[in-house]
Amino acid sequence: MADGDQSLETLGGRLRWGRKQRGVTQPQLGEVVGAESQQIWKYEKDKRVPGPQRLLQMARFLRLNIWWLVFREGSPDADETAPELPAAVVDFLASDLAEGLSEWTRGALREIPWAGTAPDVGDVARVAAGLQRVVSHPDT
């Protein structure tokens, strides 16, 4: 599944893999998400982390499962159906547990393909913590 020496262990590696699988060039992806091809290169080399909106735009355009892109869990292909949010996600977002989460994390929790799962609030909190770590990843 890996392309050359590019690892799927990193967000950048998974992003590059997804772009290559779809036959999209860095300039094409950059045009879609409003970034220069050099910026896409930095994302793919893990030199920078895409902002929340851009990450979601790239996942949608490349038809990648955001859960797989961020955590490398599940299938890389996005589910074409948009399932209803489980009650635990809605409850978590309305609770004090969600206080202090970035808007990106809140949005990403809504975008995760929860279909076929029955998370409890603890599961959602664990996912939120993981997403928050992605957001707070420092630029290098």
Q: What angle do CA 64, 122, 99 make, to 5 degrees?
A: 85
Is pLDDT above 50 for 81? no
| More confident call, 76 vs 104 | 76
| More confident call, 126 vs 134 | 126
The CATH 1.10.260.40 domain(s) of the chain lie at: 11-71
pLDDT at 49: 85
| More confident call, 96 vs 123 | 123
Average pLDDT over the chain, rounded to an integer: 78
| More confident call, 29 vs 97 | 29
CATH superfamily, region 11-71 = lambda repressor-like DNA-binding domains (1.10.260.40)
Euclidean distance between CA atoms 39 and 37, whole angstroms: 5
Distance between start and end Cα atoms, the chain? 26
Is pLDDT above 80 for 112? no
pLDDT at 1: 46
pLDDT at 21: 93
pLDDT at 135: 63
Confidence class for position 27, pLDDT limits 50, 70, 90: very high
| More confident call, 26 vs 133 | 26
DSSP 3-53: BTTB-TTSHHHHHHHHHHHTT--HHHHHHHHT--HHHHHHHHTTSS---HH
